[in-house]
A and B are shown apart, each in its own frame.
Chain A
Amino acid sequence: MAPRTRFDEYQQHLRTKQWTWDDVVPFYEGRGTEQSIVPLHELDHLDVYERTYGSRFGAHGIGRLREVALSRITDAENRIYDERLPYAAAPGLLEAHGVGSRGLGRIKDVSLCREQQEAYAGVLEREEVTVHWLDWGEEPISAYGPMHAMWAAGEVMVVAGGAIIPKRGRDPFSFGRGEWLSRWLFWELNIPTLLTVAGKGIAEVGTLVWIADDVFVSGRSIAYNEEGINQVLPVVERSTRVPELGVLTVHCQGEHYFDPDTGEAAHVDNVVAPLDVDKVLCYTPGVDTPTLLWLKQHGYQVIAAEFEDHVRHKVCNLVILEPGRVLMPAEAQGTIERVRRAGVEVIEVPYSGFHSAGGGLHTATLQILRESGPTALSPARPA
């Protein structure tokens, strides 16, 4: 029987390889010597995890994107709106729970989304990005009822050494999505969980962004509280190979995930996006002044997203392929033009079906592996 998972493949490789003393070099000091604990007490997880799990993973920074996972889109996305269920008919119920037009909402045209998702996968594959498909089954279940927004596979953040699993700030039908992804990642790709956000921490980690290998953009909003971010940041820091990680914190406005009337946005990936080593796209009314100042003081060219593209097309919610090349929602023509004028290559991806449901390309993409990319603050430690 052929190996079923990456774990099986790696175990098979280890079983059949020719083992020598060289394989235990750090721990073997010559015939007749006892094992020393010293090498193990100097060993960083970053130096051993590939041997344990059999592959490199982690989508830090803005280096070349190599591997992602995308969800197959099915009618299950809209199951919570089924009239046999008690949610949609109750006035204000879904909205109070952060679901609906100002959160993760209904997909208006599932067929369109399916087509756009497949086209998006095609674009990624043409760009030599490995795409894994996530099959959620017919009726995935959340903690509190049917699950929705399985399309939002970017819920989990994969860093070197493992995945970080969010704890959400709203939306009962999304509790369990990150956990489902964690199980899939570990079983299928042998990518372990490094951290599950716990306690009363809230951190929707997949919506945070990198603008360089050593600059991570964190946030405070209904999607991240101090306790949650305090759990996440040490793990993120230990997963990088940079001497010092710069952390920006965007203090998002309002108390909704995304308000298409006012433009308020609770997710960092809806207001800031990397474009190049020295260029970012920002919905500037959604970014606090100290963050904008920091960017400009550190030599970043800030390209402003147009309001209409922000509220209608989630234009900042993009995926960077490599420095200077980005995948953007094809519908956001005004902002795309601005980005191109700044010298950034844009690959347009039609993604209109997802915007009304609350997200965009970044939200939909579980980023698994990137190559090392440029740093903004200091040189990286060699891998």
Chain B
Amino acid sequence: MSQVLTEAPAATREAEASPYEAHLAERGKREWRRADLPFADSGIDEAGWSYEDLDYLDVYPRVWGRSCGENGIGRLREVALSRITEAELEVYEERYPFHEDPVWLESQGLLDADIRKLQEEQAAYAELLEQHGVKVHWIDWGEAPMSAFGPMQAMWAASDCWVTRGGTVVQKTGWHPFSFGRSEWMARWLQHQLGVPVLYTVHGTGIHEPSTTIWLAEDVWVTGLSAAYNEEGNRQVEAVVRRTCGVENLEVHVMRLTTDRFFDRSSGLSAHLTNVICALDLDKVLVYRPGIDAGTLRWLRQKGYTIIPVERAEQIRFTPTNTVPLEPGVVFMVQEAKGAIAAVRRAGVEVVEVPNEEFMTIGGALHCRTLRLLRDPGPSKNG
């Protein structure tokens, strides 16, 4: 059972072999056979050209000892959540100048919050995940981590390191200086601790926060254009997704979002598409229509999706689409969004309610809180 957690002493943390290292040690003891070699069944040509057919997806689990990736809407198996500490509010500390100008500091929609309540909500969420068979890793950020431009914010947003099939994609943020380093921190941690490799880091002038994109099916990925994603970022990330998704005909849809910030608390609109749309089932989506471009609404209709709408009052307070699908037809939702939950249940989707009131104050909900490490392959939309 999960509980409100405190940090383990640093010495204890360092003394333990990581799960990845333990796996390596275990693997080192095995007896190696010719049958372990590539093409042992099919046979290898004399000059070794068979290697041209070896896909990265076949290789990386053998290198790292595990599979990873949250593609699609198949059964969620493994996640990581952040341990919440006072470090979340370090940016308000007096030794930094930033608290002097709350207009600037809070203009993106990230606000102060009650740490104790956050911890309680996080513990409750972990417990619900575990009750539903999802393995939960805890991310211990240690002493208050620093971003490239000051105290790091939003360590609670563990989602920010995106895990796709074959590894992580490290974001390059488009709206928040105190987020530079967070995705990077988690990528380093994931690789070292859990053996999840880094596939790609968004770079150049690309901007992309890929963990806030969504999968509607194993073969349908939705990205966006907004403060959080630009054309160059999409070019870079789409290429990575296409070569690692394991699907021949991946459909990629681009949503056009509004606003010039992360979250506009007056309109409920956001740079992240996870705040206006989410998958509920293979043919059902939850949507805040005023935040969706007409082209996307048309596309959803053409694809045959049943659209369950979110009401404005709940959108502003709870961003109900910020959910985590457990599997097709079962979804974790913020428990405060009673109207949306009722609508989703009426559509035949099972809802697991998760407390998120305080996280909404600091700036996010379930999808943001959850680093989704592994899903089973799920259904395809396009056959």
B105-155 interface (Cβ within 8 A of A):
107-108, 143-150
In the bound complex, residues from chain A placing their C-beta under 8 Å from that of B201 are 45, 161-162, 192-195
Answer yes or no: A186 CB below 8 A from chain B CBs: yes
Interface-facing stretch out of A140-148, A309-317, A335-343 = A140-148
In the complex, how many residue pairs between chain A and chain B have their CB atoms under 8 Å apart?
222
Contact yes or no, B197 A200, CB < 8 A: no
Q: Which of B11, B56, B64, B201 has the most CB of A within 10 A?
A: B201
Contact yes or no, B187 A186, CB < 8 A: yes
Answer yes or no: B41 CB below 8 A from chain A CBs: no
Contact yes or no, A196 B198, CB < 8 A: yes
Interface-facing stretch out of A169-177, A267-275, A278-286, A298-306 = A169-177
**A interface, size bucket:** 35 or more
Q: Taking chain A's interface residues, is the majority helix, strand, or loop, or is none over half, making it mixed?
A: loop
How many chain B residues touch A (Cβ–Cβ < 8 Å)? 82
Q: Using an 8 Å CB-CB cutoff, how does the interface string of B264-292 with A read, 1 for contact, 0 for none? A: 00000000000000000000000000000
B188-214 interface (Cβ within 8 A of A):
188, 191-192, 197-207
The chain A residue sitting closest to B170, CB to CB, is A192
In the bound complex, residues from chain A placing their C-beta under 8 Å from that of B33 are 86
Contact yes or no, B52 A200, CB < 8 A: yes
Answer yes or no: B181 CB below 8 A from chain A CBs: yes
Contact yes or no, A45 B203, CB < 8 A: yes
- Given A51-B180, A141-B24, A192-B187, verify A11-B145 contact (CB < 8 Å): yes
Contact yes or no, B49 A42, CB < 8 A: no
Nearest CB on B from A91, distance (A): 12
Contact yes or no, A96 B205, CB < 8 A: no
In the bound complex, residues from chain B placing their C-beta under 8 Å from that of A170 are 48, 51
Contact yes or no, B34 A34, CB < 8 A: no
Contact yes or no, A37 B260, CB < 8 A: yes
Q: Which of these, A33, A44, A162, contacts B103 with CB under 8 Å?
A: A33
Interface-facing stretch out of A13-21, A121-129, A287-295, A351-359 = A13-21
Answer yes or no: A190 CB below 8 A from chain B CBs: yes
Contact yes or no, A51 B170, CB < 8 A: no
New A-B pairs, 10, CB < 8 Å, besides A86-B34, A172-B37, A199-B244: A15-B143, A34-B104, A41-B227, A45-B172, A92-B46, A96-B44, A183-B191, A198-B243, A199-B243, A202-B51
Chain B positions within 8 Å of A, measured between CB atoms, are 10-11, 14, 24, 27-28, 32-34, 36-38, 44-49, 51-57, 59, 62-64, 95-98, 100-101, 103-104, 107-108, 143-150, 166-167, 170, 172-177, 180-181, 184, 187-188, 191-192, 197-207, 227, 230, 239-240, 243-244, 260-261
Chain A positions within 8 Å of B, measured between CB atoms, are 1, 4, 7, 11, 14-15, 19-21, 23-24, 27-28, 31-37, 40-46, 48-49, 51-53, 85-87, 90, 92-93, 96-98, 139, 141-146, 161-162, 165, 167-170, 172, 175-176, 179, 182-183, 186-187, 190, 192-202, 222, 225, 231, 235, 238-239, 255-256
**8 nearest interchain CB pairs?**
A199-B243, A34-B107, A14-B146, A45-B203, A193-B198, A238-B204, A143-B62, A198-B56
